[in-house]
Amino acid sequence: MKRAEKNLMLVAFLSILGFGYQNCAPSNHADFASVAPNQIPALGDKVTAKQMTTLARKLKDVDAAKPYSIQEIESGGVTLKEYVTAGGVIFAVTWRGLSNPDLSQLLGSYYSDYRAEKARVPRQKGMRLENVQTSQVVVKRAGHMRDLQGQAYDTRLFPDGFTIEDLK
């Protein structure tokens, strides 16, 4: 059997298993459009209980004693957790997965400040860490191929008693 025939058979076999070319294409961010029609609520947005149950695949830490709840959304190989106050305001977002989510979507109105500060601070050679702090938002990203993680939060929106260490 010639090499070209072997490669063709391998491609056919992998496509049967669901590993077609569309799954091999590089992606800059996770697509959460399958979870919400246009966009998921961004950091600082206020969400209703109905929106939370519609968007979230799983609600975590729903405890009346805590001043916040966590909604978890899984899509495109990325697990996204939104930390929501009792009043419905998203004060922090964390993610972990195969790729980074679209930060313009997650940060919402904070995104322009984030981009300006990121452009101002030169990237350190060889570093795969990012820690961008503005007067309003903190964005931390780290990881390596297929295991990327990060968090974004506005400490001014933290409920009483919540600390950065509570971000999981």
Q: Which pLDDT tens digit goes with each residue over 93-108? A: 999 999 888 899 899 9
Q: In what order do the strands lie in the sheet with 138-144?
A: 58-60, 68-75, 78-85, 90-97, 147-153, 138-144, 130-133
Give this prediction's pTM.
0.70
Quick one: DSSP state of residue 25? S
Does 128 score more than 90 pLDDT?
no
- How far is residue 12's CA from residue 38's CA, in Å, rounded to a whole number? 34
The secondary structure element, H or E, covering residue 111 is helix 111-120
- How far is residue 102's CA from residue 129's CA, in Å, rounded to a whole number? 17
* pLDDT level of residue 73 (50, 70, 90 thresholds): confident
Does 21 score more than 80 pLDDT?
no
pLDDT (0 to 100) of residue 91 = 94
HSE of 34, CA atoms in CB hemisphere, 13 A: 9
Name the 3-class secondary structure at 110. helix
Please give the average per-residue pLDDT across 108-125, as a whole number.
88
